[in-house]
Amino acid sequence: MVQASESDILSIGGVLNDSARPLKERFRALFTLKNIGNAMAINQISTCFNDQSALLKHELAYCLGQMGNPKAINILTSVLEDLSQEPMVRHEAGEALGAIGEPSVIPLLEKYRKDPVLEVAETCELALDRLKWLESNNNTENLQKNLYSTIDPAPPMDITNVDILKEILLNESKSLFDRYRAMFSLRDIGTKESILALTEGLKAGSALFRHEIAFVLGQLQEEVSVPGLRASLENTEENEMVRHECAEALGSIATSECYEILNKYLNDSKRVVRESCIIALDMCDYENSLEFQYADALTKLPA
């Protein structure tokens, strides 16, 4: 946690909740609040779920899950249960509930594993599997820190053979939880071979699966994945949740080619894709700057 005064938290929350501010400033405010991580920061984040941007609301839910604070459970429950929220927002709320890791949410997740929106149903199924895995392994996952300091939807497997992991990843007869476990194992191996195996996942499985593949490729930040990410972003028939994640992954990789690709889709017909390209270009600027972390510039923003 980062220490901050109440007045600072309110000021940062004011940036987040000000729809007149540029989206990139609001995202930086959000990640600053995530790093602060206390109850007051959670409250400032929670007040933004009535925003018009599905992209921002989905990121609110993601950050609440990554904070790992049970105080966020009630707000995430409300978001998951709100059928007027966009599917990508409800999905992220379900994933966040799994990330927090409290068994008390199992009945709620059991209910929404049957949701008519496939992305929501699959997410709740994954979250349930994660909670069961944690219980059966006595929460040992909490002792395993990955290189990205993220709480993942599934733990990696105890397998290091890329061919075996690739077979599991792309085998749609396997459970989604096992395929996610293979995904995070391939990420943690981090070789060109394992990354190319992951890029094949951009053409396999459900939209939820493909979007997670793109997220993982963004974490890896390797140029070898750019052609696959580009193809998915350029495919206007692809689910917007997948295209959005491909845009942000390209922003993390931040080569000159990525800049060029992202600029082409700033006027995309899908709002979430347009906004993702705005954020991704800001990420490109950050990756090519001397800033220590993405939220650092927030403290320099005018009130």
Higher confidence at residue 154 or residue 292? Answer: 154
Segment 285-293 mean pLDDT: 72
Q: Is the pLDDT of residue 290 over 80?
A: no
Q: Is 91 annotated as a binding residue?
A: yes
Res 298: pLDDT: 43
Mean pLDDT for the chain overall: 93
Res 146: pLDDT: 82
Segment 246-265 mean pLDDT: 97
Q: Is 212 annotated as a binding residue?
A: yes
Q: Is 211 annotated as a binding residue?
A: yes
The tokens for 50 are 């009535």
Q: Is 25 annotated as a binding residue?
A: no
Res 291: pLDDT: 60
Query: Measured between alpha carbons, how far is residue 90 from residues 111, 147, 168, 224, 288 in Å?
Result: 13, 27, 27, 32, 33
Q: Is 95 annotated as a binding residue?
A: no
User: Residue written as tokens 């059928």?
Assistant: 83
Q: Is 172 annotated as a binding residue?
A: no
| C-beta separation of 79 from 89 below 8 A | yes
Condensed to tens digits (0 to 9), the pLDDT of residues 257-283 reads 999 999 999 999 999 999 999 999 999
Segment 230-236 mean pLDDT: 97
Condensed to tens digits (0 to 9), the pLDDT of residues 20-72 reads 999 999 999 999 999 999 999 999 999 999 999 999 999 999 999 999 999 99
Res 2: pLDDT: 78
CA distance 243 to 251: 12
Domains of the chain with bracketed CATH: 1-143 (1.25.10.10), 146-303 (1.25.10.10)
Q: Is 92 annotated as a binding residue?
A: yes
Res 301: pLDDT: 40
The tokens for 55 are 């992209």
Higher confidence at residue 269 or residue 290? Answer: 269
Residue 144's pLDDT band (boundaries 50, 70, 90)? low
Res 115: pLDDT: 98
Res 282: pLDDT: 93
Query: Measured between alpha carbons, how far is residue 274 from residues 41, 92, 232, 277 in Å?
Result: 28, 19, 15, 5
Q: Is 238 annotated as a binding residue?
A: no
Q: Is the pLDDT of residue 299 over 60?
A: no
The tokens for 27 are 């995202």
CA distance 13 to 293: 19
- Residues with Cβ < 8 Å from 68, sequence gap 6 or more? 99, 100, 101, 151
Condensed to tens digits (0 to 9), the pLDDT of residues 176-224 reads 999 999 999 999 999 999 999 999 999 999 999 999 999 999 999 999 9
Res 171: pLDDT: 97
Q: Is the pLDDT of residue 288 over 90?
A: no
